[in-house]
Amino acid sequence: MTSKPVHIAIFASGAGSNARRIIEYFKEDPGVEISLVVCNKPGAGVLQVASDHHIPAVLIERDRFFKGDGYLPDLEKHRVDLLVLAGFLWKVPEKIIQAYPGKIINIHPALLPAYGGKGMYGHYVHEAVLANREPLSGITIHYVDEHYDHGDTIFQATCRIEENDTVESLSQKIQQLEHAHYPEVIAGIIKKQKPR
């Protein structure tokens, strides 16, 4: 008897390249279903990604997310088991963290704890890394708690920074690491969390 699939909600605010990779990676996997895309930015590329793959999307509003029900009814309606943040720029409210303990993960485009926290996202991260002439950068996949970029680290991968690297070239290197590793790390978490 096949056990029910694990349902994933992807939270994103931007282009959705990670969301697309994750959707494509699990497309043929009967044990995993990307059930919902949650987005806070009208017109964000990730909404097109959801539409292209016939995945329901919910466009959330600040008040309801932070002061209302946190859209928990939507997550429950889609039987969400795991929340995957992929470029989601709002902090996850306590109400959601309490409802999904140990079930919310995020990817950050730097080697936390360095270069993390409020305001450290996208090109701001790469600018700071380059300005400090770091020899390495990379990605961090971590559990989400009530602070930005702060929960237990699950996985990190690094890339070398060369003299001639720019924000653009570094962002490309980081994105390649993200696309190569995020889906596999998610698959590993699901495997570990599946009841025997």
Concerning whether 123 is annotated as a catalytic residue, the answer is no
Longest CA–CA separation in the chain, Å: 56
17 binds ligand GRF (CB under 6 A): yes
* 39 vs 96 by CB, closer to ligand GRF: 39
Token couple for 54: 């016939």
| Among 110, 109, 114, residue whose Cα is nearest residue 86 | 109
Which of 78, 108, 126, 142 is catalytic? The answer is: 108
Lookup result for tokens 């720019």: 166
What's the rounded Cα separation, in Å, for the pair 133 and 98?
A: 39
- H or E stretch including 153? strand 153-160
Q: Using CB under 6 A, which of 5, 7, 15, 127 touches ligand GRF?
A: 15
The three-state secondary structure class of 95 is helix
87 binds ligand GRF (CB under 6 A): yes
Q: How far is the CB of 12 from ligand GRF (least distance, A)?
A: 5
The residue type at 73: P
What's the rounded Cα separation, in Å, for the pair 54 and 45?
A: 14
* 122 vs 188 by CB, closer to ligand GRF: 122
What's the rounded Cα separation, in Å, for the pair 99 and 91?
A: 15
Binding pattern to ligand GRF, positions 105-144, x when CB under 6 A? --xxx-----------------------------------
Interactions with ligand GRF, residue window 143-182 (CB under 6 A): 178
183 binds ligand GRF (CB under 6 A): no
Where along the sequence are the contacts to ligand GRF (CB under 6 A)?
A: 12, 14-19, 86-87, 107-109, 178
* Residues known to be catalytic: 108
